[in-house]
Amino acid sequence: MEGIDAVRRNKTAIEAILCADYGLILNKIDEKKLITRREYNNLKSIVGEDVWGYVVALLDKLLNKGDDTCRAFLDLLQTDDDIKCTFPELRNLQMSNTSLLTKPVQASSDDGSGSQPTGLCVIINNETFIYEKKRTGTNKDAESLAEVFSWLGFRVLCCNDQTQEQMQRALNCFAAPEHGDAFVCCILSHGRENAVLGIDGKPFSIKDIIRTFKATTQSTLTGKPKMFLFQACRGREEQQGVLQKYLQTDDHHSLSIPEEADFLVVMSTVEDYVSFRHPIDGSWFIQSLCQQLKEGCPRGDDMMTILQRMNDEVSQKEASSQPGRRKQMPEVRFTLRKGLFLSPK
């Protein structure tokens, strides 16, 4: 029963990884005749499921077909060139009780003052809601984020139109596998004071989202930077500008870390206020962030410098013909213990 046991032991991690390209893995399994043609057609056209549901149904089908099928499936994951190229994270899964597959190549760190990470970037892009207005322009933001983080060497996965339960399930899956030297989560949605909304209108607490990835002795992300970008309103008030009258300028190691260390959380706006988004060009926050990453990363700027420039750029924008009438101020908070540097690959 070694094949069944290996699939069950790695089931959550495999599901999270294969969600990146369900069509590819389904076709590969069909080519190897691990499922019948009827089973292939049924799995290809499940009604009422998102990509997570498709992958779960596929793995359950393979488990039900017995140990030989599971062994063949695991062999396919480890030997097929297309699969290895598309899902490099599979190499870090323990497929047997005695051996650990070779870990994926990761970017090296520098002398300790910072790191040059590569890893996974997850984009949850909620556009069409049941009870809220459609978030026109959000696809532009998702495309910009996918472009810039792919350019920075991240593997990018995009989950569209997620309910609160689907968002929670997705993030729980992504918290499990090895992703490289860093993890980025971008959530583009409607929001309220301390939560983002699923397309079903149910709130998902920002605190709960972040704590899904807190450091544990089992987590592969412990000690690694975890960046969260939230493009969402945090209230209904519109922020106004204030004329500046005065301007001042100011020219040993523990063996453990706090469980909430190494987080970088960037909110599109401060608490209680709306966040502006153009229906065609995307949001001020995401578009400015992507532009500042494109300009600052090749220069070797650290993330805090880049985010400070983004803050300044967004703060200067006007959403009204009357100066100072409708403004926006992003908010950055962090528990990073080292400098964070992202470099184009």
The domain spans of the chain are: 2-92, 114-240+255-340
Residue 110 clears pLDDT 60, i.e. is over it = no
Contact status, residue 197 vs residue 134, Cβ threshold 8 Å:
no
Q: How confident is the model at residue 48 (pLDDT cuts 50, 70, 90)?
A: low
Out of 102-116, 136-150, 182-196, 270-284, pick the least confident: 102-116
Higher local confidence (pLDDT), 219 or 245: 219
Q: Strands 331-334, 263-267: parallel, antiparallel or unpaired by DSSP?
A: antiparallel
pTM to 2 decimals? 0.63
Asked whether residue 174 carries a pLDDT value surpassing 60, the answer given is: yes
Q: How many residues does the chain have?
A: 345
pLDDT of residue 127: 92
Query: Which residues does the annotation mark as catalytic?
Result: 190, 233
Q: What does the pLDDT read at residue 286?
A: 94
Q: Which residues pair with 331 in a beta bridge?
A: 267
> Do the domains at 2-92 and 114-240+255-340 have one common CATH topology?
no
Residue 253 CB-density burial (10 A; 0-12 exposed, 13-18 middle, 19+ buried): exposed
**Radius of gyration of the CA atoms of the chain, in A:** 22
Between the alpha carbon of residue 81 and those of residues 15, 53, 256, the distances in Å are: 19, 26, 39
pLDDT of residue 252: 45
Q: What is the CATH number of domain 2-92?
A: 1.10.533
Tokens 């997705």 locate to 170
Q: Is the pLDDT of residue 132 over 60?
A: yes
CA 108 to chain centre: 22
More confident residue, 113 or 80: 80
For 316, the 3-state DSSP assignment is coil
* The pLDDT of residue 299: 94
pLDDT band at 187 (very low <50, low <70, confident <90, very high): very high
Q: Is residue 243 pLDDT above 70, yes or no?
A: no
DSSP-derived pairing of the beta strands 339-340 and 195-197: unpaired
Given pLDDT bands bounded at 50, 70 and 90, which one contains residue 244? low
How many other CB atoms sit within 10 Å of the CB of residue 142?
A: 23
- What residue type is assigned to position 243 of the chain? L
Mean of pLDDT values over 9-19: 82
Report pLDDT for 180: 74
In this predicted structure, what is the pLDDT of residue 247? 42
Residue 108 pLDDT grade (very low, low, confident, very high; cuts 50, 70, 90): very low
| pLDDT of 111 over the 60 cut | no
List the structure tokens of 323.
């100066």
> Does residue 177 surpass a pLDDT of 80?
no
Fold of 114-240+255-340: Rossmann fold (3.40.50)
Cβ atoms of residues 300 and 341 within 8 Å: yes
